[in-house]
Amino acid sequence: MGLSGEVSPEFHFFLQRPAKTTSYFFNYTTEIMILSESVSQEINMSCYHCGERCPTEVIRLDEKLFCCEGCKIVYEILSEKNLCNYYDLNAAPGKTQKILPLKNKYEYLDDEELTNKLLDFKDGKISAVTFFIPQMHCSSCIWLLENLFKVNSAILQSRVNFIEKKLSVSFQTSAISLRQVVELLAFIGYEPQISFEDTEKKSQNLVSKKLYYKVGIAGFGFGNIMLLSFPEYLSIDVSSAELRAIFSYVIFLLSLPIFFYCGSEYFVSAIKGLRKKFVNLDVPISIGIITLFTKSVFEIFAHGNPGFMDSLAGLIFFLLLGKIFQNKTYDVLNFERNYKSFFPISVTVKKSGEEKAIPLSQLKIGDRIVVRNGELIPADSILFSGDGNIDYSFVTGESSPVEKVVGEMIYAGGRQSGSSIELEVLKEVSQSYLTQLWNNFTTKSSEDFSFSGVANAFSKYFTFAVLVIAAVSYFYWMNIDHNVAVNAFITVLIVACPCALALSTPFTLGNTLRIFGKNDFYVKNIRALENLGSIDTIVWDKTGTLTESGESEITFVDGTLSSKEMIWVKSLVRNSNHPLSKKIYASINEAAALKIENYLELPGKGIQGEVSGQKLKIGSEHLFEQFAAEAKTPGELETVPPPLSSEVYVSINDEVRGKFKIQNKYRHDAATIITRLQSKYDSYLLSGDNESEQLYLENLFKKKENVLFRQAPLDKLNFITRLQAKKKRVLMLGDGLNDAGALAQSNVGISVSEDILNFTPASDAILNAKMLKKIPGFLKFTTISIKIIYASFTISILYNLVGFYFAVQGLLSPLFSAVLMPLSSISVVVFATVTTTYFARRKGLL
Amino acid sequence: MSVIAVLILFSILVAGSFLAAFIWAVKSGQYDDKYTPSVRMLFDDNEHPALKEKNKNNTNS
């Protein structure tokens, strides 16, 4: 604010016209000084702890400003414990403490059974636990979290894994309880996210560690075998046969772990595929590896030369490297979330007048639970007391809250807004409507072939062709020279080993995955990426995907209303079921229960009535005569997005007092994105919401039948299934639980989220909502990547053809193979990474 | 020529010890988090006094 006000017009001039001469520059330095001073003042007005702008009543301590009591308390604690280094590492590293956690929120952590499930380790004296803390964002966070022992000496050690946003804490059980540890963290602004899912431990990481071991061993073997093969490469005549034998035997020993340990997974996968009558790319690879190995073993023991062992080691080494590259995982993100991670871990139960927090797993039918404002209803239940105003937007997509009265059934998954309510649990958590729905959804079959679909589809023909070529060359040579025939047969199999082919997909798609990751678009794996390249239909969810999620911003402009008048307004809008009325109702904090007389609803215009003898009118401009002249014709209204900003006027005793401005709605570029994508893909919209925006959306999606409203989660799922029955390959973009089924059913499900660390339903990819505008670019780039894969295939086939040319003549020497194989692999890898990077740059993704 | 055989065995031994070091590094979790240690090393003295004594001889665990 102060910025534009204090800057002199000269400075604006300076900004517009960069100084071409030094004199300009000197003339305006004074201005710059003034400006920077005003800027620094601006910064000083922000909270020392969290950096947020301080409100008008600032809290001061030690000449520092704080935006709220909470931030000040955290500062006090840290300064008392001599931990102010926290503020030196980064400016204002904290998180605002305006909303303090409820006092007995963590009461459930006193439950021993539950804590045992959360703890990683426990031996009576010391316990260890790992928390997920998404708030950590800078080195100050790491520093403070690793210095927890200075805050409370009962904490022995705390270690941060910044990438995974995890904190491992070990503490003395006698001096501090798990609950106190959590409360301590919450208190200093790092409230751990503990969800129902955490109580079920699962081990990961083992797979990737194994891969590292394998690469290490293969690399070790590869290097040493190459070294020992040098005499062969340089055709040095090793005069001593003894020495030659030693070389060969050492090579043999080195090759054993490579063949049996590092290469084993290819055999396993090949056999798995063949059992399912499916020739995957691991089949020709396994044929190649086994032929290489047996041929070399034979050479070593029969002739004392190392044969093709160097090629074998190099091959496996490169293949494993490709595997590491494609296994780019996003540790922080969870693509497999189920309802358990959405649900809270505890629930407040009322027993004989006392409120107690218990773990969700202990919730029983018939329990009386208390659900406060903003809390989630964990199980299907009946409203016992209080005004139910349930926001189901995350479950159904319906944007306006549903009112419930005592005795009505409330399904799990809704959020109570308003005062707290009491409910009686009807069904167990795992039996609720929502969780049932979730369990019904078919999960995509997760075949774990090591290679992508494209490569596997190709490998059937490839393997067949290789076997034919090998057989033909064998029979051709058989009558001429038996030795050459055997040699040709074997070398064809060796040279056919599709190493380069196998590397092209992991490197192309792995690189694409990384490029997307840099753009906040996180794809689960390369298989999902391939599917993304083949889609022809896009289905959009409306609420939260095309529109901004969360509550709309409601402000009263062009005038003011006293709190008394606000109560009148609130009392009046309470009678209306119009979504806008409900939003205004929810936005006014004052208590309201005034009686309305002469209430009248004028459809399409607004509402009017009398409160405390005052005549109130609330509605669109059509309601007021003075606006009638300016009112737009209905036709005009249909082409402009109506909801970008709704205005609701308020008049008291026929005097217009101002208007409510209700903003949120469509994301910035939603319309442009949809129009752009329509030329290439069939686009549909499935909304759980009502038809209030029908006309606009139908205009946007061109076809009337492509826009569907009031879609329940199951309707969405069925819609996708119907499209797929028509052989469509469907991309679904959604955000909430209501889309979970559709996301799982579609060929590719992208869940759009404002905060990717927050809950997202199970999906193939997670997209930061801000990057929605890049969706056309992502899709385009995926198709380019697929084309790059085909190009790399061509290159690797060319190498194979060169190899075949020599192999069928029985001329393939070990040395030639040792050069050809790594050369082909490396050139394909370089081609794949360089081209993807190049196109990503051109498409503005890097 | 037999000296070469000895050298070969020795070189493999050296290389093998590096492999062992690599496997140990993976096993002890050094590849699990590739970012935090780079920040952590910039902080001085962040160990609990009780643990410090204990870890003096075994700094790697």
As a whole-number percent, the residues of chain A with pLDDT over 70 amount to: 79
Q: Which amino acid is at A760?
A: T
Residue A281 near residue A272, CB atoms below 8 Å: no
| A716-774 pLDDT, tens digit each | 888 998 999 999 999 999 877 778 778 888 889 998 887 766 667 778 888 888 888 89
Tokens of A581: 């009325």
Residue A379 near residue A355, CB atoms below 8 Å: no
Chain A residues within an 8 Å CB radius of B5: 243, 246
Give the nearest partner residue to A162 out of B4, B36, B46, using CB atoms: B36
Tell if the CB–CB gap between A205 and B32 is shorter than 8 Å. yes
Give the nearest partner residue to A160 out of B4, B23, B36, using CB atoms: B36
Chain B contact for A213 (CB, 8 A cutoff): yes
Measured distance CA(A104)–CA(A267) in Å, rounded? 56
Measured distance CA(A667)–CA(A753) in Å, rounded? 12
Element (H, E) at A545: none
**Quick one: average pLDDT of A359-380?**
81
pLDDT value of residue A21? 35
Backbone angles phi, psi at A806, to 5 degrees: -80, -35
Please tell me what DSSP assigns to residue A666.
B
pLDDT value of residue A216? 94
Confidence of residue A22 (pLDDT cuts 50, 70, 90): very low
Least confident of A302-311, A321-330, A561-570, A767-776: A321-330
Burial class (CB in 10 A: 0-12, 13-18, 19+), A704: exposed
Quote the domain boundaries for residue B32.
Answer: 3-60
Backbone angles phi, psi at A618, to 5 degrees: -135, 130
Chain A with chain B: Cβ pairs closer than 8 A: 75
Least confident of A61-75, A599-613, A614-628, A675-689: A614-628
Radius of gyration from C-alpha coordinates of chain B: 18
Query: Per-residue b/e over A677-703, b at no fewer than 16 CB within 10 Å?
Result: bbeebbbbbbbbbeebbeebbbebbee
- Residues with Cβ within 8 Å of B31's Cβ and at least 6 positions away in sequence, in order, are A209, A212, B25
Quote the mean pLDDT of chain A.
78
Closest-CA residue in chain B for A218?
B19
- Residues with Cβ within 8 Å of A103's Cβ and at least 6 positions away in sequence, in order, are none
How far off is chain B from A726, nearest CA to CA, in Å?
A: 45
Least confident of A9-13, A147-151, A250-254, A825-829: A9-13
Element (H, E) at A383: strand A381-385
A contact residues 411-440, partner B, Cβ 8 Å cutoff: none
Domain count, chain B: 1
Tokens of A177: 């309880």
Measured distance CA(A753)–CA(A734) in Å, rounded? 9
Give the nearest partner residue to A224 out of B15, B34, B39, using CB atoms: B15
Quote the mean pLDDT of chain B.
79
Least confident of A493-507, A563-577, A800-814: A563-577
Measured distance CA(A527)–CA(A506) in Å, rounded? 10
Q: How many CB atoms lie within 10 A of CB A846?
A: 14
| A597-652 pLDDT, tens digit each | 788 777 667 788 888 888 888 877 767 765 544 444 443 333 434 444 567 788 88
Tokens of A434: 């929502």
Confidence of residue A260 (pLDDT cuts 50, 70, 90): very high
Virtual CA dihedral for A295, A297, A303, A308, nearest 10 degrees? Answer: 60
How far off is chain A from B57, nearest CA to CA, in Å?
A: 17
Q: Could you give the angle at the alpha carbon of A542 between the alpha carbons of A541 and A545, nearest 5°?
A: 75
Query: Per-residue b/e over A169-187, b at no fewer than 16 CB within 10 Å?
Result: bbbebeebbbbbbbbbbbb
Residue bearing tokens 């590293």: A93
Closest-CA residue in chain A for B11?
A224
Closest-CA residue in chain B for A149?
B48
> Which is more confident, A505 or A36?
A505
Cα-Cα end-to-end distance for chain A: 34
Chain A residues within an 8 Å CB radius of B42: 139
Chain B contact for A250 (CB, 8 A cutoff): yes
Tell if the CB–CB gap between A162 and B35 is shorter than 8 Å. yes
Tokens of A446: 């997760």
Residue B16 near residue A220, CB atoms below 8 Å: yes
Tell if the CB–CB gap between A164 and B33 is shorter than 8 Å. yes
Tell if the CB–CB gap between A142 and B18 is shorter than 8 Å. no
- Residues with Cβ within 8 Å of A501's Cβ and at least 6 positions away in sequence, in order, are A281, A455, A458, A462, A792, A793, A796, A797, A800, A828
Measured distance CA(A199)–CA(A363) in Å, rounded? 15
Map residue A731 onto helix, strand or coil. strand
Test mutation, B13, B19, B28, chain A, max A CBs within 10 A: B19
Tell if the CB–CB gap between A156 and B40 is shorter than 8 Å. no
| A109-118 pLDDT, tens digit each | 877 777 887 8
Measured distance CA(A377)–CA(A389) in Å, rounded? 12
How far off is chain A from B46, nearest CA to CA, in Å?
A: 6
User: Is-above-0.90 flag for pTM?
Assistant: no
Q: How many CB atoms lie within 10 A of CB A579?
A: 19
Chain A residues within an 8 Å CB radius of B60: none
